[in-house]
Amino acid sequence: MTDNGIIALAAGLVMALSTIFPALAQGKTATAAMEAIARQPEASGDIRTSLILALAFMEALTIYGLLVAFLLLGNIG
């Protein structure tokens, strides 16, 4: 396999991993937040704020993965 092939494979792997794992974590986090709101409706505002902040950080990881993949693909050629 050439260097370009290895770089392309690495870019694909980065995109796959940086998409799958944050998506699973977001689903698990949203589930836990909904369960917490169901148990304590009076704390829904605080739980919602924490949920949105956590989801934003997880989404940032996905965007960083996209950036790394683009940087890798920029090295092909």
Domain architecture of the chain: domains with CATH: 3-74 (1.20.20.10)
In angstroms, how far apart are the furthest CA atoms of the chain? Answer: 59
Tell me, what amino acid is at 52? I
Q: What is the mean pLDDT of residues 29-53?
A: 96
Q: What is the mean pLDDT of residues 33-50?
A: 96
pLDDT at 2 (0 to 100): 80
pLDDT at 76 (0 to 100): 83
Give tens-digit pLDDT for 51-63: 999 999 999 999 9
pLDDT at 55 (0 to 100): 96
Residue 11 clears pLDDT 70, i.e. is over it: yes
Alpha helices in 1-77 (DSSP H): 3-39, 44-74
* C-alpha distances out from residue 37 to 32, 50, 66, Å: 9, 12, 33
